[in-house]
Amino acid sequence: MRDLKDQCWVLTEEDIDALEIGSGILGTGGGGNPYIGKLRARQALREGYELKVLPLNAIADEAMVVPLGGIGAPLVSFERLKEGREGLRCLRSLEERLGFKADAVACEEIGGQNSMEPLITGAFAGLPVVDGDGMGRAFPEMQMTTYSIYGHRSTPSVMCDPHGNAVAFENAITEKWHETMARACVIAQGGASVLASAPMSGAYVKRYSIPHTYTQAIGLGRAVMDARKTHSDPIAAICEREGGQHIFSGKINDLKRHFKGGFNVGVASIEGLDSYRGSIGQITIQNEYLMFERDGQMVTCVPDLVVVLDLDTGLPITTEILRYGQRIAVLALPCHELLRTPQALDVVGPACFGFPDVIYKPLAEAA
Amino acid sequence: MVLRLGIDVGGTNTDAVILRDREVLAGVKSSTTEDVMSGISNALEAVIEKAGVERDAIDVTMIGTTHFTNAVIERRALDPVAAIRLGLPATACLPPMVDWPEDLVEMVGGHRYLVRGGYEFDGREIAALDEDEITRIAKDIADKGIKAAAISSVFSPINQDMELRARDLLREVCPDLPVVLSSEIGRIGLLERESAAIMNASLLSLSDQTVEAFGNALKGAGLTCPFFVTQNDGTLMAADMVRRFPVLTFASGPTNSMRGAAFLTGVKEAIVIDIGGTTTDVGALQHGFPRQAATVVDVGGVRTNFRMPDVFSVGLGGGTMIAGTADNLQIGPKSVGYRLTTDALVFGGETLTTTDIAVRAGMAEIGDASKVADIDPALVEAARQGIADMLEMAVERSRISPDPIPVIAVGGGSILAPDHIGDLEVLRPENFAVANAVGAAIAQISGEVDRIFALDGTSREECLAAAEKEANDAAIAAGAKADTLTVIEREDVPLAYLPGNATRIHLKVVGEMGDVHA
């Protein structure tokens, strides 16, 4: 891993603006709002740091790649803003403890605000972020990355807060235990921290990350921005890029929400508009949009992506700003093959979200 | 019997009404003037004469104004501000005003200070307040001649002690420095709340002058009664509060027209369409108050989290131009705007507008109907359908329940509204053209709480009761009569990933203004 610079994509402010939109779309309603992260990334850029994305095929097999991301409550991250170098401290602490030098960082979750943290940390450390992530979307828990699903042990890991506190997790007996312990600790650290996991080899990253998701998210965002500029249909542009399907248009006519086991759960009912007039859609929500049914028939469900967009602007709508009367488009985007194996479905399939009777049927890519 | 005078100072028109209890005695529209104050004086004289009341019989005056919003948008009359944030070592990644347009940062001087302090979500200190640093900043403020300060502390909506302490320390060095605390203005969301506090601080001189000028305009018209200004939530601030919190008047215009619509019809659950010359604002009334926007609102390029009415605008008004043929019709987005009375066909002009269609279709009697007698009935029908479709779409966006509530049409252009929009009936109150001045005249006093409560050890009901008591106290302190207070918003949202059953409670009460003869 020497002299990567030529192979890297150095991001511009426009790329970051596009990433804000694209990672919002891939967030499928969750993952937090990337706005604060965008401001931080832009700030780093204006201070002279380089935000770099490294193509997967440019990583050496023996490279050491550290996955990292924010953990905690989105609300805290809007109030107690970060010190800024939490991620860098995690990375340095991990390197010191384990006696290695990182060659690159990796993104845990491209959907929502976690798309930005690895870019920012990478910029401060002078390292690129590999062009991929562990989810290809947003999921609520850490064990739900392809890194963990396919055998990477994410401990030892280090979690840092703005004060300078660092917690090392030495050995989690399962990935779910790591999630549980980290979740407990982040509360002590004030509710919003950054966590860097044990390094992965370049070979592993190439094989088991969801590939090209930075390129994908930035491209998606640019497609929406271009469509808005030229007054063409952003929804069609998204479907075309992603092999996705526009599965419903309608107006939300009922919204039930409650709080269960640490999650915001709910159901949105949608009355069809345009060519869907006469049909009723229903979205099941658990932090993210989990499933979409039309007239009682399951159309698509997790781990495929249920994306909700404002019908006119094509901008993503997160679950917490969903409300009665909104006119929305529902899109289904196929998830990557790596999320569709029996091994993955054991961790991110409908049963893991409390729907054991729902059988996942992979969404076909649109022609 | 109470006589109230309501004034709405808009960008184009200054409207005034006089109400005797619940009866509208008179309403007038007059042009807004460059100096604003002479426009107010004109409207005052006209409405007093029309109502035929004695000047000293008027008990109270309420003013709705876009003055402060416009100052920010037009970047004028803003003071330099010291933006002081208590939060280090957290928050260092993004300084105050980081997402402001550059020209606005320059206008307020770009003085940013980050200091150790602030709270965690559960009330622990992030760091002890660095008091020496506050004193150093105070000296810097004095040296640089900065006019005002805005202090924001992390999680200050939960605990404002550090903001208060920092203010006291500043005043030890700069006794006359106006200081704005973010906890007095905004809600959770540091950047937005801090931005609101800074904007507020930058407007303090202007608000001082404006309140003075309003007072003079009223005095000049021979009025001796107290006056109040309306806030963005449809409630009132005493003149002294406006001097301290001018930002709370932002977006009060749409609120006033919606509140006026509710009052004029007596309907509390409805969709209001306010049709002006160029645009139509559409919003939903809940319990007689505008439904608030859930997301952040942009003012002059700055994200803020003020409670603003959730209003959707469409490019349709009385001056909207119509082009094409019945088969291929184009309604807007161009408008003749304030030139309606010279350019529209019914006024002898040469431009086909929505008003001409309304006259031709017999929906209104304005101008000279013979000038539009030749318009092809097919075109008229197509245009009426097009207008109805635009309004239906806007109304549908604003509906907050499937119940068949009515639509209330107000504003000068409401002649365009059909009798039904979709499946909803359209109501047209008398005095529809001055609904926003009526909204100002009937404004109430509010108290509000919005913060995180820990439910551990107490019940949800106890927390809600505690929040209600807090909101009631705030309303009474602001001048409301205790026996008229009612809760108009009560919302508790559990917070994901946080322990102790942390719940965000937002509660608001409103009441009638206390003794107006004060």
Q: What pLDDT shows up at residue A315?
A: 85
Of the residues B105, B121, B158, B455, the best mutation for testing chain A's interface (the one with the most A CB atoms within 10 Å of its CB) is B121
Calculate mean pLDDT across residues B406-432: 91
Class of domain B3-71+208-250: alpha beta
Chain A residue closest to B452 (CA)?
A75
B94 touches chain A (CB under 8 A): yes
Q: For residue range A26-39, what is the model confidence (pLDDT) as tens digits?
A: 999 988 889 999 99
Q: How far is B270 from chain A (nearest CA, A)?
A: 14
Calculate mean pLDDT across residues A53-62: 95
Return d(Cα A57, Cα A52) in angstroms, integer: 15
ipTM of the complex model:
0.91
Give the count of beta carbons closer than 10 Å to the beta carbon of residue B38.
Answer: 15
User: In degrees rounded to 5, what are phi and psi of residue A260?
Assistant: -145, 120
Of A173-177, A206-210, A234-238, B274-278, which gets the smallest average pLDDT? B274-278
CB B16 within 8 A of CB B45: no
Residue B67 CA, distance from chain mean position: 11
Q: What pLDDT shows up at residue A1?
A: 39
pLDDT greater than 70 at residue B199? yes
pLDDT greater than 50 at residue A3? no
Q: Hey, what domains does chain A have and what are their CATH numbers?
A: 2-213 (3.40.1610.10), 234-356 (2.40.390)
Contacts with B126 from chain A: Cβ below 8 Å: 80, 162-163, 190
DSSP, collapsed to helix, strand or coil, labels residue A177 as helix
DSSP, collapsed to helix, strand or coil, labels residue B269 as coil
pLDDT greater than 60 at residue A366? no
Q: What pLDDT shows up at residue B477?
A: 82
Of A150-154, B101-105, B319-323, B401-405, which gets the smallest average pLDDT? B401-405
Q: Which of B32-36, B152-156, B339-343 has the highest mean pLDDT?
A: B152-156
CB contact under 8 A, A80 and B90: yes
Domains in chain B: boundaries: 3-71+208-250, 78-202, 273-407, 443-511
Residue B23 CA, distance from chain mean position: 24
The partner residues of B505 in beta bridges, in order of sequence, read B451, B492
Q: For residue range A214-261, what is the model confidence (pLDDT) as tens digits?
A: 999 999 999 999 998 888 889 999 999 999 999 999 988 888 877 666
Residues in chain B: 518
Q: Which of B61-70, B166-175, B302-311, B322-331 has the highest mean pLDDT?
A: B166-175
Tokens standing for B298?
Answer: 């942009």
User: Residue B254 is which amino acid?
Assistant: P
E-state strands within chain A: 9-10, 52-54, 64-72, 104-107, 129-133, 157-160, 166-169, 192-196, 200-201, 210-211, 245-260, 263-272, 280-286, 288-294, 297-301, 305-310, 327-333
> How sure is the predictor about A367, in pLDDT bands with cuts at 50, 70 and 90?
very low
Task: Point out the residue among B89, B155, B294 whose CB comes nearest to the CB of A321.
Answer: B294
Q: What angle do CA A200, A204, A210 make, to 5 degrees?
A: 100
Return d(Cα B68, Cα B62) in angstroms, integer: 16
pLDDT greater than 90 at residue A169? yes
Return the CATH fold of B78-202: Rossmann fold (3.40.50)
Contacts with A326 from chain B: Cβ below 8 Å: 397
Q: How far is B284 from chain A (nearest CA, A)?
A: 11
pLDDT greater than 70 at residue B485? yes
- Nearest alpha carbon to residue B447 among B424, B416, B472, B413: B472
pLDDT greater than 90 at residue B267? yes
Contacts with A84 from chain B: Cβ below 8 Å: 92-93
Spatial CB neighbours of B335, under 8 Å, sequence gap ≥ 6? B277, B278, B315, B317, B319, B320, B321, B353
Pairs of CB atoms within 8 A across A/B:
112
* Distances in whole angstroms, Cα of residue B302 to Cα of each of A137, A180, B196, B199, B252: 30, 39, 9, 9, 18
- Restricting to A residues 267-306, those with a Cβ less than 8 Å away from any Cβ of B are 287
- What percent of chain A shows pLDDT beyond 70? 96
Q: What pLDDT shows up at residue A268?
A: 93
B121 touches chain A (CB under 8 A): yes
Contacts with A76 from chain B: Cβ below 8 Å: 121, 498
CB contact under 8 A, B496 and A73: yes
3-state helix, strand, coil in chain A (%, to 5): 40, 25, 35
pTM to 2 decimal places: 0.87
Q: What pLDDT shows up at residue A5?
A: 54
* Distances in whole angstroms, Cα of residue A222 to Cα of each of A33, A111, A363: 18, 16, 25
Of the residues B116, B120, B401, the best mutation for testing chain A's interface (the one with the most A CB atoms within 10 Å of its CB) is B120
Of A144-158, B284-298, B464-478, which gets the smallest average pLDDT? B284-298
Q: What pLDDT shows up at residue A231?
A: 81
CB contact under 8 A, A75 and B498: yes
Task: Point out the residue among B94, B294, B401 whose CB comes nearest to the CB of A81.
Answer: B94
Q: Which of B69-78, B143-152, B371-380 has the highest mean pLDDT?
A: B143-152
Calculate mean pLDDT across residues B344-358: 94
pLDDT greater than 70 at residue B500? no
- Restricting to A residues 319-338, those with a Cβ less than 8 Å away from any Cβ of B are 321, 323-327
Task: Point out the residue among A78, A83, A253 whose CB comes nearest to the CB of B90.
Answer: A83
Of A172-181, B134-143, B225-234, which gets the smallest average pLDDT? B225-234
Q: For residue range B126-147, what is the model confidence (pLDDT) as tens digits?
A: 999 999 999 999 999 999 999 9
**Cis peptide bond N-terminal to A303, omega within 30:** yes
Burial (CB count <10 Å: 0-12, 13-18, 19+), residue A6: exposed
Q: What pLDDT shows up at residue B517?
A: 38
Residues in chain A: 367
Average pLDDT, chain A: 92
CB contact under 8 A, B118 and A82: no
CB A82 within 8 A of CB A192: yes
The partner residues of B8 in beta bridges, in order of sequence, read B15, B64
Of A318-322, A330-334, B296-300, which gets the smallest average pLDDT? B296-300
* Distances in whole angstroms, Cα of residue B424 to Cα of each of A343, B41, B291, B315, B392: 53, 40, 19, 21, 9
- What percent of chain A shows pLDDT beyond 90? 80
Helices (H), B130-226: 131-144, 161-173, 190-202, 204-220
